[in-house]
Structure 1
Amino acid sequence: MATVSELRVHRGRRSEGWLLVLSWALAVLARGLVDYHADYLELDELAWYAAGFAGVLTVLHIVLRIFAPHSDQVLVPVVTGLIGIALAEIRRIDFAYAARGRETDFGTTQIGWALLGALAFIIVLIVIRDHRVLRRFTYTAGILGIVLYLLPAVPGLGKEINGAKIWIGVGGHSLQPGEFAKILLVIFFAGYLQTNRDALALAGPKFLGMRLPRMRDMGPLAVMFAAALLIMVNQKDLGAALLFFGIFIGMVYIATERISWVVIGLVLFVFGAIAAGVLFNHVGARYDAWLHALDADVYSSGRSEQLVRGLFGMASGGLFGTGLGNGRPDLVPYAESDFIIASLGEELGLTGLMAILTLYVILVQRAMRTAIGVRDGFGKLLSAGLGFAVTLQVFIIVGGVTRLIPLTGLTTPFLAYGGSSMLANWIVIALILRISDQARQPAANAAPKAEESGPRRRRPDLEEAPQR
């Protein structure tokens, strides 16, 4: 006889629906405030924007109900809330540039990228019906990830923008391949660590209370260290190397729970960063601009101008900000992309900036919660790794803008202007939700009861599929 729980395995996604209403209201309100303070408020245009935003949210909600009915109900509202704030602020920066005689259309272009990202999100959810199939491509993903990271170093293909060579030119547009490489590397690390976690966690001598890895297990760490150093030197960017190496160390710790890996990784990275600063002039110049940003000679040379202007902009915002549309974000170079955090800090103040960072905390917390709940080891590492990648990227950006670490050319997920970041991070959310759907499925759906299914035939499990 069927039980009540078996008759109703879908509880609906009402919580997500109400949260999407809140994110919609936030996006429309932000857009309205920007247009009002720019003396450009037209109710008909705002109504069309509100209707379009609501339509996209409705489509996303329906797709999730059909293709991932058990997945986390908080992630998409958080992401669309961040995008709504970003679209308003980027449009506000367009108005500021126009007031100075520079015509830009970043806001409209970013709407297109956001829609394309949402489409990529839907495609990933529909195509990848079981996240464990990705483990078959462990080494393929690793090789492709390294290749993507190194593409900007190819002569004639790489482009240097704002002091960092992390872009490539494609069809007249700039593409940041590192955004997609991080996803492939997380897949590689998850598959590799799931296979070798016992050797990495249990073997090795003890020293000062820490269990050190065996020399033969240090091979992957040495390869990651060398690759990170190569990226930093060729791309003139500490952020890409820190993201690359940090994801690896974080996932090794998650897999093994051994603090020795973190200690060794940090020592190697600090050693490599110092050595690169001493041996290579362009890396040393970026360190100098970070350490001596307020020195007159460094500022007058233009090396720290962007950083200093961003700091003064956030300082002028104070606790509650100047208000959307009342600041001067246009005084900071690349205010719509690299320094979107400084723009928001000026107009929303410390309070608004902390609210935005809280949304990122919620996003990462849901990814980690998914990692705890999923049943297979590969899914745990994949979800945790994707969440950690977002965490580390936000830390690198905010740390650079606030002068905690050297400034980098990475982008703030879902906030900064740019298509590569928007597409890649929508894919990250789709993968986390796919794992979440698997983790939250009722036990009755996850495995048939023995008495109902009869004798089980042996079949190759996706978890044990050969890796390519």
Structure 2
Amino acid sequence: MATVTQVTPRRGRWTELALLVPALGLGVYGYLQVGLSVTGAPPPDLGTFAAGLTAIALTLHLVLRWRAPYADPVMLPVVTALNGLGLAMIARVHLALQMRANPPGWDQDPTRQLMWVAIGALAASIVIVWLRDHRTLRRYTWTALVLGILLLLLPMTPVIGREINGSRLWVGIGGFTLQPAELAKIAFAVFFAGYLVTHRDQLTLAGKKIWGLTLPRARDLGPILLAWGISVGVLLIQKELGTSILLFGLFIAMLYVATERLSWVIIGGLLTIGGVLVVASRVGYVQARIDVWLHALEPEIYNRDPGGSGQIVSGLFGMANGGLMGTGWGEGFPHLTYSANADMIIPSFAEELGLTGVLAILMLYVVLVERGLRAALGVRDGFGKLLAAGLAFTVALQCFVVVGGATRVIPLSGLTMPFLAAGGSSLLANWIILALLLRISDAARRPGPETQGAVATPPAGIPAQAGGAA
């Protein structure tokens, strides 16, 4: 008989701790170089910055050791590196804007941004501690849908709703403003995952085939039409292109993962294109964004006020100035671009770190998304697979929308780069997404009770056969 040897599965927490060292070093080094280049001396709060960022990362690391020991060891270092780099660029833009009488765009104090990083990490820690099993969220499928709709409509309330730069996306409470749509995407991801797991067979098997496409039944098509209506409604009422694309893209991606039917992607693409065309013909704000996208360098569009293409053109010039290797930390002029620390932070990095630096940053996002998809493949339940895939795709789609808008691949939107750009709402939502992905990855990497890492070994004197069998 074969004996059984118990193998202790790898948890990866020491790997995570080792990766946190260079991840923290990137942000601290960038912050130091900004101070040396702009002011000629190290930043006076360099020690506080380094200690704060380190404390945030180590606290979440310890929470993972306690509550999710098998969680993916790469995600937290990647997010820490992105946060550190983003804080360094926000500090660089802040110093430059402080020297100008009329700064172009919204300024953000790096200390306030670090506070939002701490709040986001705290929220992530609470999620990891409270949510012992991600499958618990499936009980709240329809509650998540209602919550998501309420969050989208919250900026329309008369007392706390705020309109900024022509878009009504914010709520204001005291001295803080929050963008509820960032949190709504998490609620919709939970709803989509729960709904699709329950109705997967109907969506996969039922329906008629027309011109090679399997069309769903009307009652099964209802939720996708509801999602389409919500996304277009957000676009019409709040005048925001990026949020509607993100919400609808999330649903179509999760539909494809659940059913593996290309027909859903085609149907969703046609609905998206049709909705954008209809809205663009009726809403001047969206049409102005499309004009800027198609004719940014035309004098009439460039000089238009408001709604001109000065922001996008300035970003393009900044990226051209950076070239392959960039001007170096603090040596460029990213502050000349409107919202250089938020919507246009990628051109800011492209100018000072060059194409090479931007590609390195984008590779960090590729690694983060890949680890999220790996968790989706490894987890044993369908709900976890869909939720992890949807959340990972949300990060990828948001990066595409932001980078594509800054480089004129698609129209510019009001979204920000996850973990990198200034803004508390985005940081809070994306830290919660990270917590959910870590929780799911812990379930995916944790050995099941039936296997528990057991490896059969042959008795002495009997060689193992091919394939490792005794």
TM-score greater than 0.5 by the shorter chain? yes
What residue in structure 1 maps to residue 351 of structure 2?
A: 346
What residue in structure 1 maps to residue 192 of structure 2?
A: 189
2:108–2:422 contact (8 Å) kept in structure 1: no
Opposite residue 5 of structure 1, the aligned amino acid is: Q
Percent identical pairs in the alignment equals 51
Partner SS state of residue 152, structure 2:
helix
Between Structure 1 and Structure 2, how many residues are aligned?
448
Q: Deviations over 1:313-365 (max 9, x none)?
A: 11111111111101111111111111111111111111111111111111110
Within 5 Å, which residues of 2 pair with 1:237-256? 237-256=240-259
Q: Deviations over 1:3-50 (max 9, x none)?
A: 6536x4564522111111110111111111111101253387434433
What residue in structure 2 maps to residue 332 of structure 1?
A: 337
- Which of 270, 274, 278 in structure 1 is aligned with 2:277? 274
Q: Structure 1 residues 12, 157: closer, same or farther in 2, change over 3 A? A: closer
Deviation at 1:201, TM superposition (A): 0.8
Opposite residue 246 of structure 1, the aligned amino acid is: G
What residue in structure 1 maps to residue 462 of structure 2?
A: none
What residue in structure 2 maps to residue 373 of structure 1?
A: 378
Range with greater deviation from structure 2 (152-161 or 237-246): 152-161
Partner SS state of residue 365, structure 1:
helix
Partner SS state of residue 326, structure 1:
coil
Q: Are 2:166 and 1:163 aligned?
A: yes
2:376–2:388 contact (8 Å) kept in structure 1: yes
Opposite residue 82 of structure 1, the aligned amino acid is: L
Whole-Å Cα distance in 2 between the matches of residues 25 and 289 of structure 1? 39
Partner SS state of residue 444, structure 1:
coil
1:166–1:409 contact (8 Å) kept in structure 2: no
Partner SS state of residue 200, structure 1:
helix
Within 5 Å, which residues of 2 pair with 1:215-226? 215-226=218-229
Q: Structure 1 residues 376, 201: closer, same or farther in 2, change over 3 A? A: same
What residue in structure 2 maps to residue 305 of structure 1?
A: 310
What residue in structure 2 maps to residue 264 of structure 1?
A: 267
2:82–2:420 contact (8 Å) kept in structure 1: yes
Structure 1 portions without partners, runs of 5+: 450-468
Whole-Å Cα distance in 1 between the matches of residues 280 and 294 of structure 2? 12
Structure 2 portions without partners, runs of 5+: 455-470
2:69–2:442 contact (8 Å) kept in structure 1: yes
What residue in structure 2 maps to residue 424 of structure 1?
A: 429
2:208–2:214 contact (8 Å) kept in structure 1: yes
1:125–1:434 contact (8 Å) kept in structure 2: yes
2:12–2:73 contact (8 Å) kept in structure 1: no
What residue in structure 2 maps to residue 459 of structure 1?
A: none
2:375–2:437 contact (8 Å) kept in structure 1: yes
What residue in structure 1 maps to residue 140 of structure 2?
A: 137
Q: Structure 1 residues 309, 95: closer, same or farther in 2, change over 3 A? A: same
Deviation at 1:245, TM superposition (A): 0.7
Range with greater deviation from structure 2 (136-145 or 165-174): 165-174
Whole-Å Cα distance in 2 between the matches of residues 448 and 23 of structure 1? 31
Q: Are 2:249 and 1:229 aligned?
A: no
Q: Structure 1 residues 4, 122: closer, same or farther in 2, change over 3 A? A: farther
2:250–2:393 contact (8 Å) kept in structure 1: yes
Deviation at 1:151, TM superposition (A): 2.1
What residue in structure 2 maps to residue 463 of structure 1?
A: none
TM-score, normalised to structure 2, is 0.91
Opposite residue 173 of structure 1, the aligned amino acid is: F
What residue in structure 1 maps to residue 203 of structure 2?
A: 200
Deviation at 1:163, TM superposition (A): 3.3
Deviation at 1:244, TM superposition (A): 1.0
Q: Are 2:392 and 1:387 aligned?
A: yes
User: What's the C-alpha RMSD, in Å, of the aligned pairs?
Assistant: 2.1
What residue in structure 1 maps to residue 95 of structure 2?
A: 95
Opposite residue 258 of structure 1, the aligned amino acid is: R
Q: Deviations over 1:435-457 (max 9, x none)?
A: 111111112388899xxxxxxxx
Q: Are 2:149 and 1:149 aligned?
A: no
Whole-Å Cα distance in 2 between the matches of residues 445 and 324 of structure 1? 53
Whole-Å Cα distance in 2 between the matches of residues 10 and 254 of structure 1? 29
TM-score, normalised to structure 1, is 0.91
2:379–2:441 contact (8 Å) kept in structure 1: yes
